[in-house]
């Protein structure tokens, strides 16, 4: 995985690396952690069980991490989900979750 590859996927790597006090290696170490599957599967499970409070907390946490690393395409989708969950909307999350899976897949593919 390189910075250029991340950039091509739409990550604002410049901003992300700035938050790492300019330490690119450190940034590149954090990115895979943010893509780790467990949080995402938690979210899917909680939404599936209509446990919107728990789902909101998970989405909210993911949002913070993704925003800090400026993994923008992923962050945008999570933001959308977070806001829906915050309003406790019992809507069909499947298209958003699908999209999330796909974009996350793009990122994990270059790991």
List of residues contacting another protein (CB under 8 A): 18-21, 23, 26, 30, 33-34, 57, 60-61, 63-65, 67-70
Q: Which is nearer to another protein, 18 or 102 (CB)?
A: 18
What CA–CA distance (Å, rounded) separates 60 from 78? 8
Closest contact distance (angstroms) between CB of 21 and another protein is 5
Least gap, CB of 23 to another protein (angstroms)? 7
Comparison of 60 and 99: residue with beta carbon closer to another protein = 60
Q: Which CB sits closer to another protein, 38 or 92?
A: 38
Distance of closest approach, residue 39 Cβ to another protein, in angstroms: 9
Closest separation in Å from C-beta 94 to another protein: 25
| Sign of the torsion angle spanned by Cα atoms 53, 44, 49, 89 | positive
């Amino acid at each position: 995985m390189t910075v250029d590859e991340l950039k091509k996927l739409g990550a604002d790597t410049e901003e992300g690396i700035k938050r790492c006090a300019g330490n690119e290696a450190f940034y590149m170490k954090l990115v895979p952690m943010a893509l780790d599957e467990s949080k995402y599967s938690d979210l899917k499970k909680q939404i599936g069980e209509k446990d919107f409070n728990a789902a909101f907390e998970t989405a909210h946490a993911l949002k913070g991490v993704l925003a800090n690393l400026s993994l923008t395409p992923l962050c945008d989708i999570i933001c959308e989900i977070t806001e829906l969950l915050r309003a406790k909307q019992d809507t069909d999350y499947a298209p958003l979750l699908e999209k999330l899976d796909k974009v996350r897949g793009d990122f994990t593919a270059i790991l």
